[in-house]
Amino acid sequence: MKRRIFALFAGLAFAGAVSAQTTLNVITAGDQNMVDYVNNYLAPKFEAANPGVKVRAVGTGPGDAGSQKIYEKLSAQQKAGNNEWDVDVAVIHQLAGADVDGYVLPMFHSQIVFAYNPDLVKNPPRSFAELNDWVKKNPKQFGYNGVKGGMSGVGFVTGWVSAYSGMADKLEKGPYDPSAAPAIDKALAGLKDFNQYVVLTPGNAGTLDMLNRGEIAMGPVWVDMFYTWQADGRMSPKIKLVLPSPGLPGQPMYYVIPAKAAHAALAKKFIELAESPEVQADGIVKQFNWYPGIDPQYVQPKLDQAAWNKLFTDITPQDLSKYGRPFPLSPYFKEITEGYERVVIK
Residues of the chain with pLDDT under 70: 1-20, 95-100
Predicted TM-score (pTM) of the model is 0.86
| pLDDT value at residue 65 | 87
Cα–Cα distances (Å) from 126 to 57, 123, 199, 236, 237, in that order, read 41, 9, 20, 22, 21
Written as one string, the DSSP assignment of 168-191 is HHHHHH----GGGHHHHHHHHHHH
Per-residue model confidence as pLDDT tens digits over 257-298: 999 999 999 999 999 999 999 999 999 999 888 899 999 999
Residues facing 54 on adjacent strands: 23
| pLDDT value at residue 104 | 80
| pLDDT value at residue 31 | 85
Angstrom distance (rounded) from CA 146 to CA 160 = 12
| pLDDT value at residue 2 | 40
Cα–Cα distances (Å) from 148 to 15, 61, 126, 170, 337, in that order, read 45, 18, 25, 25, 9
| pLDDT value at residue 6 | 42
Residue 10 backbone phi and psi in degrees, to 5: -100, 175
Residue 296 backbone phi and psi in degrees, to 5: -55, -25
